Amino acid sequence: MQYPKELTGALELIWGEGMLSPGGPDKVAQMLEGIDLSGNRVLDIGSGLGGIDLLLATKHGAAAVIGIDVEPQLIKSARDLAARKGLAGRVTFQLVTPGKLSFADASFDLVFSKDAMVHIADKLAVYAEVLRVLKPGGWFIGADWLWSEGAAESGVVHAWLSKSPPGFAFTTPATALQALIDAGFTDPTVTDFRKELQEANRKEIALLKGSARQKLAATLGTETAEGRLAGAQGRQAALDSGDLIPCHLRGRRPT
Ligand SMILES: C[S@@+](CC[C@H](N)C(=O)[O-])C[C@H]1O[C@@H](n2cnc3c(N)ncnc32)[C@H](O)[C@@H]1O
Protein backbone atom coordinates (compact mmCIF):
# COMPACT_ATOMS: atom_id res chain seq x y z
CA MET A 1 0.00 0.00 0.00
CA GLN A 2 1.58 3.28 -1.15
CA TYR A 3 -1.14 5.57 0.19
CA PRO A 4 -1.90 4.54 3.79
CA LYS A 5 -4.12 6.68 6.02
CA GLU A 6 -1.16 8.52 7.63
CA LEU A 7 -0.08 9.74 4.20
CA THR A 8 -3.52 10.49 2.72
CA GLY A 9 -4.61 12.24 5.92
CA ALA A 10 -1.56 14.48 5.74
CA LEU A 11 -2.01 15.20 2.02
CA GLU A 12 -5.71 16.02 2.50
CA LEU A 13 -4.92 18.33 5.36
CA ILE A 14 -2.53 20.29 3.16
CA TRP A 15 -4.31 20.11 -0.21
CA GLY A 16 -8.00 19.89 0.74
CA GLU A 17 -10.79 17.35 1.12
CA GLY A 18 -10.42 14.44 -1.27
CA MET A 19 -7.15 15.75 -2.75
CA LEU A 20 -3.88 13.82 -2.88
CA SER A 21 -2.00 16.28 -5.07
CA PRO A 22 -1.35 20.02 -5.10
CA GLY A 23 -3.38 22.77 -6.72
CA GLY A 24 -6.99 22.02 -5.85
CA PRO A 25 -9.93 23.29 -7.96
CA ASP A 26 -7.87 26.04 -9.64
CA LYS A 27 -5.33 23.55 -10.95
CA VAL A 28 -8.06 21.24 -12.28
CA ALA A 29 -9.68 24.24 -14.03
CA GLN A 30 -6.30 25.21 -15.50
CA MET A 31 -5.74 21.70 -16.81
CA LEU A 32 -9.17 21.78 -18.48
CA GLU A 33 -8.81 25.27 -19.94
CA GLY A 34 -10.70 25.57 -23.23
CA ILE A 35 -12.46 22.24 -22.82
CA ASP A 36 -16.17 21.88 -22.18
CA LEU A 37 -17.06 18.78 -20.20
CA SER A 38 -20.83 19.35 -20.23
CA GLY A 39 -22.66 16.08 -20.67
CA ASN A 40 -19.38 14.17 -21.04
CA ARG A 41 -18.54 10.72 -19.82
CA VAL A 42 -15.14 10.98 -18.14
CA LEU A 43 -12.57 8.45 -16.92
CA ASP A 44 -10.13 9.54 -14.19
CA ILE A 45 -7.04 7.31 -13.93
CA GLY A 46 -5.62 7.28 -10.38
CA SER A 47 -8.60 8.89 -8.69
CA GLY A 48 -7.24 8.64 -5.13
CA LEU A 49 -9.72 10.00 -2.58
CA GLY A 50 -12.06 11.25 -5.32
CA GLY A 51 -12.05 15.01 -4.68
CA ILE A 52 -11.17 15.79 -8.28
CA ASP A 53 -13.92 13.50 -9.60
CA LEU A 54 -16.54 15.44 -7.65
CA LEU A 55 -15.23 18.66 -9.20
CA LEU A 56 -15.36 17.19 -12.71
CA ALA A 57 -19.06 16.50 -12.17
CA THR A 58 -20.09 19.60 -10.22
CA LYS A 59 -17.91 22.51 -11.36
CA HIS A 60 -17.16 21.18 -14.85
CA GLY A 61 -20.52 19.57 -15.66
CA ALA A 62 -19.48 16.04 -16.60
CA ALA A 63 -22.54 13.79 -16.85
CA ALA A 64 -20.73 10.74 -15.51
CA VAL A 65 -17.30 10.29 -13.97
CA ILE A 66 -15.64 6.94 -13.35
CA GLY A 67 -12.55 7.07 -11.16
CA ILE A 68 -10.23 4.08 -11.16
CA ASP A 69 -7.50 3.29 -8.65
CA VAL A 70 -5.37 0.36 -7.52
CA GLU A 71 -5.77 0.80 -3.74
CA PRO A 72 -9.01 -0.53 -2.15
CA GLN A 73 -8.97 1.81 0.85
CA LEU A 74 -8.82 4.82 -1.52
CA ILE A 75 -11.74 3.49 -3.57
CA LYS A 76 -13.77 3.06 -0.38
CA SER A 77 -12.97 6.59 0.83
CA ALA A 78 -13.78 8.04 -2.60
CA ARG A 79 -17.13 6.22 -2.70
CA ASP A 80 -17.93 7.43 0.82
CA LEU A 81 -17.07 11.02 -0.17
CA ALA A 82 -19.28 10.87 -3.29
CA ALA A 83 -22.14 9.45 -1.19
CA ARG A 84 -21.74 12.19 1.47
CA LYS A 85 -21.94 14.83 -1.27
CA GLY A 86 -25.02 13.20 -2.85
CA LEU A 87 -23.15 12.35 -6.06
CA ALA A 88 -22.84 8.58 -5.80
CA GLY A 89 -25.02 8.08 -8.89
CA ARG A 90 -22.94 10.27 -11.19
CA VAL A 91 -19.48 9.77 -9.75
CA THR A 92 -18.45 6.14 -9.32
CA PHE A 93 -15.20 4.40 -8.51
CA GLN A 94 -13.73 1.08 -9.55
CA LEU A 95 -10.84 -0.85 -8.09
CA VAL A 96 -8.52 -2.00 -10.89
CA THR A 97 -5.28 -3.86 -11.31
CA PRO A 98 -2.41 -2.16 -13.15
CA GLY A 99 -2.33 -2.88 -16.87
CA LYS A 100 -4.95 -2.84 -19.58
CA LEU A 101 -8.12 -0.85 -18.90
CA SER A 102 -11.28 -2.87 -18.46
CA PHE A 103 -13.41 -0.61 -20.67
CA ALA A 104 -14.59 -1.09 -24.23
CA ASP A 105 -13.05 0.91 -27.08
CA ALA A 106 -14.41 4.46 -27.45
CA SER A 107 -16.14 4.51 -24.03
CA PHE A 108 -15.20 8.04 -22.91
CA ASP A 109 -15.35 11.62 -24.17
CA LEU A 110 -12.38 12.56 -22.02
CA VAL A 111 -9.72 10.75 -20.00
CA PHE A 112 -8.26 12.72 -17.10
CA SER A 113 -5.33 11.86 -14.85
CA LYS A 114 -3.59 13.98 -12.26
CA ASP A 115 -0.24 13.03 -10.71
CA ALA A 116 -0.93 9.31 -11.01
CA MET A 117 0.86 8.17 -14.16
CA VAL A 118 4.17 8.78 -12.39
CA HIS A 119 3.40 5.42 -10.76
CA ILE A 120 3.06 3.63 -14.12
CA ALA A 121 6.33 2.58 -15.73
CA ASP A 122 5.17 1.81 -19.28
CA LYS A 123 4.00 5.21 -20.52
CA LEU A 124 3.44 4.07 -24.11
CA ALA A 125 1.22 1.21 -22.94
CA VAL A 126 -0.89 3.44 -20.71
CA TYR A 127 -1.24 6.19 -23.33
CA ALA A 128 -2.22 3.54 -25.92
CA GLU A 129 -4.93 2.29 -23.56
CA VAL A 130 -6.12 5.87 -22.98
CA LEU A 131 -6.38 6.39 -26.74
CA ARG A 132 -8.26 3.10 -27.17
CA VAL A 133 -10.99 3.95 -24.63
CA LEU A 134 -11.42 7.51 -25.96
CA LYS A 135 -14.11 8.28 -28.51
CA PRO A 136 -12.80 9.75 -31.78
CA GLY A 137 -12.03 13.43 -31.12
CA GLY A 138 -11.89 12.81 -27.35
CA TRP A 139 -9.24 14.43 -25.18
CA PHE A 140 -6.62 13.08 -22.83
CA ILE A 141 -5.86 15.71 -20.17
CA GLY A 142 -3.14 14.88 -17.68
CA ALA A 143 -0.71 16.31 -15.18
CA ASP A 144 2.31 14.31 -14.19
CA TRP A 145 5.65 14.53 -12.43
CA LEU A 146 8.39 14.21 -15.06
CA TRP A 147 12.12 14.66 -14.68
CA SER A 148 15.06 15.90 -16.70
CA GLU A 149 17.54 13.82 -18.66
CA GLY A 150 20.12 12.60 -16.15
CA ALA A 151 17.93 13.21 -13.08
CA ALA A 152 18.17 9.51 -12.17
CA GLU A 153 21.80 10.16 -11.24
CA SER A 154 21.18 13.45 -9.45
CA GLY A 155 22.20 13.62 -5.79
CA VAL A 156 19.38 16.10 -5.17
CA VAL A 157 16.82 13.60 -6.49
CA HIS A 158 18.32 10.74 -4.49
CA ALA A 159 18.20 12.83 -1.31
CA TRP A 160 14.53 13.73 -1.99
CA LEU A 161 13.36 10.22 -2.87
CA SER A 162 15.08 8.76 0.20
CA LYS A 163 12.51 10.78 2.23
CA SER A 164 9.50 10.07 0.01
CA PRO A 165 7.22 7.09 -0.51
CA PRO A 166 8.61 4.66 -3.13
CA GLY A 167 6.97 3.61 -6.37
CA PHE A 168 7.73 6.45 -8.78
CA ALA A 169 8.45 5.76 -12.46
CA PHE A 170 9.57 9.10 -13.86
CA THR A 171 10.12 9.86 -17.51
CA THR A 172 11.43 12.91 -19.35
CA PRO A 173 9.21 15.42 -21.21
CA ALA A 174 10.77 14.36 -24.53
CA THR A 175 10.07 10.67 -23.86
CA ALA A 176 6.52 11.40 -22.71
CA LEU A 177 5.85 13.45 -25.86
CA GLN A 178 7.25 10.71 -28.09
CA ALA A 179 5.11 8.12 -26.28
CA LEU A 180 1.99 10.25 -26.88
CA ILE A 181 2.93 10.49 -30.58
CA ASP A 182 3.67 6.75 -30.81
CA ALA A 183 0.37 5.94 -29.10
CA GLY A 184 -1.39 7.80 -31.93
CA PHE A 185 -2.56 11.10 -30.39
CA THR A 186 -2.96 14.12 -32.64
CA ASP A 187 -1.34 17.41 -31.60
CA PRO A 188 0.08 16.07 -28.32
CA THR A 189 1.63 18.61 -25.96
CA VAL A 190 3.77 18.36 -22.83
CA THR A 191 3.95 21.71 -21.04
CA ASP A 192 6.42 22.53 -18.28
CA PHE A 193 4.71 23.91 -15.13
CA ARG A 194 7.82 23.83 -12.94
CA LYS A 195 7.78 27.54 -12.03
CA GLU A 196 4.20 27.36 -10.78
CA LEU A 197 4.89 24.23 -8.74
CA GLN A 198 8.09 25.77 -7.28
CA GLU A 199 5.95 28.59 -5.94
CA ALA A 200 3.19 26.28 -4.67
CA ASN A 201 5.71 24.00 -2.99
CA ARG A 202 7.32 26.96 -1.21
CA LYS A 203 3.91 27.83 0.24
CA GLU A 204 3.46 24.21 1.28
CA ILE A 205 6.78 24.25 3.14
CA ALA A 206 5.73 27.44 4.95
CA LEU A 207 2.47 25.72 5.96
CA LEU A 208 4.29 22.61 7.10
CA LYS A 209 6.58 24.74 9.26
CA GLY A 210 3.64 26.77 10.57
CA SER A 211 -0.07 26.09 11.06
CA ALA A 212 -0.19 22.65 9.39
CA ARG A 213 2.65 21.33 11.57
CA GLN A 214 0.59 21.52 14.76
CA LYS A 215 -2.48 20.04 13.13
CA LEU A 216 -0.54 17.20 11.51
CA ALA A 217 1.32 16.41 14.71
CA ALA A 218 -1.93 16.42 16.71
CA THR A 219 -3.89 14.21 14.30
CA LEU A 220 -1.26 11.98 12.69
CA GLY A 221 1.77 12.26 14.97
CA THR A 222 5.03 14.20 15.04
CA GLU A 223 6.82 11.71 12.81
CA THR A 224 4.27 12.23 10.01
CA ALA A 225 4.52 16.01 10.40
CA GLU A 226 8.34 15.89 10.20
CA GLY A 227 8.20 13.44 7.30
CA ARG A 228 5.90 15.66 5.24
CA LEU A 229 8.15 18.66 5.82
CA ALA A 230 11.30 16.72 4.86
CA GLY A 231 9.53 15.39 1.75
CA ALA A 232 8.38 18.87 0.69
CA GLN A 233 11.88 20.30 1.24
CA GLY A 234 13.43 17.50 -0.82
CA ARG A 235 10.88 18.10 -3.57
CA GLN A 236 11.68 21.83 -3.47
CA ALA A 237 15.38 21.11 -3.98
CA ALA A 238 14.57 18.83 -6.94
CA LEU A 239 12.27 21.50 -8.44
CA ASP A 240 14.84 24.25 -7.91
CA SER A 241 17.69 22.20 -9.42
CA GLY A 242 15.56 21.60 -12.54
CA ASP A 243 15.62 17.82 -12.03
CA LEU A 244 11.90 17.57 -11.31
CA ILE A 245 9.61 18.93 -14.03
CA PRO A 246 5.86 18.86 -13.33
CA CYS A 247 4.05 18.96 -16.66
CA HIS A 248 0.60 19.14 -18.19
CA LEU A 249 -0.03 16.63 -20.96
CA ARG A 250 -2.64 16.78 -23.69
CA GLY A 251 -3.55 14.75 -26.70
CA ARG A 252 -6.60 14.05 -28.82
CA ARG A 253 -7.81 10.85 -30.42
CA PRO A 254 -7.95 11.41 -34.16
CA THR A 255 -11.48 11.76 -35.53
C1 LIG B 1 -0.68 11.30 -6.01
S2 LIG B 1 -2.12 10.29 -6.03
C3 LIG B 1 -3.21 11.37 -6.97
C4 LIG B 1 -4.66 11.07 -6.72
C5 LIG B 1 -5.62 12.04 -7.41
N6 LIG B 1 -5.46 12.03 -8.85
C7 LIG B 1 -5.44 13.43 -6.89
O8 LIG B 1 -4.78 14.23 -7.57
O9 LIG B 1 -5.92 13.72 -5.78
C10 LIG B 1 -1.74 9.01 -7.20
C11 LIG B 1 -2.84 7.97 -7.34
O12 LIG B 1 -2.54 7.06 -8.40
C13 LIG B 1 -2.96 5.77 -7.99
N14 LIG B 1 -2.32 4.76 -8.86
C15 LIG B 1 -1.06 4.26 -8.80
N16 LIG B 1 -0.86 3.36 -9.78
C17 LIG B 1 -2.01 3.29 -10.50
C18 LIG B 1 -2.44 2.55 -11.65
N19 LIG B 1 -1.62 1.68 -12.29
N20 LIG B 1 -3.70 2.74 -12.10
C21 LIG B 1 -4.53 3.61 -11.50
N22 LIG B 1 -4.18 4.33 -10.41
C23 LIG B 1 -2.93 4.18 -9.92
C24 LIG B 1 -2.57 5.73 -6.54
O25 LIG B 1 -3.18 4.68 -5.82
C26 LIG B 1 -3.01 7.11 -6.09
O27 LIG B 1 -4.35 7.15 -5.72
User: Each residue of 76-106: pLDDT tens digit?
Assistant: 999 999 999 999 999 999 999 999 999 999 9
The average pLDDT across 137-153 equals 97
| Nearest CA among 91, 114, 154 for reference residue 22 | 114
Of the chain, the end-to-end C-alpha distance in Å amounts to: 39
Class of the CATH domain delimited by 5-144+168-194+246-250: alpha beta
- Judged against a pLDDT cut of 70, whether residue 137 lies above it is answered with yes
Q: What is the per-residue pLDDT for 165?
A: 67
Say what percent of the chain tops pLDDT 70.
99
The average pLDDT across 245-253 equals 98
CA separation for the pair 147, 153 (Å, rounded): 11
Ligand 1 atom with the shortest distance to the CA of 71: 25
Ligand 1 pocket, 248 CB below 6 A? Answer: no
Q: What is the per-residue pLDDT for 195?
A: 97
Q: What is the 3-state secondary structure (H, E, C) of 187-242?
A: EEEEEECHHHHHHHHHHHHHHHHCHHHHHHHHHHCHHHHHHHHHHHHHHHHHHHCC
Ligand 1 pocket, 3 CB below 6 A? Answer: yes
Ligand 1 atom with the shortest distance to the CA of 74: 27
Could you report the per-residue pLDDT of 186-197, keeping only the tens digit for each?
999 999 999 999
Q: What is the per-residue pLDDT for 216?
A: 87
The average pLDDT across 249-254 equals 98
Could you report the per-residue pLDDT of 216-235, keeping only the tens digit for each?
888 888 988 898 899 999 99
Ligand 1 pocket, 123 CB below 6 A? Answer: no
Could you report the per-residue pLDDT of 149-167, keeping only the tens digit for each?
999 999 999 999 987 766 8
Residue 185, SS3 per DSSP: coil
State the Cα angle at 24 between 23 and 25, rounded to 5°: 125
Report the chain's mean pLDDT, rounded to a whole number: 95
What are the Cα distances from residue 130, in Å, to 93, 138, 207, 221, 238? 17, 10, 36, 39, 29
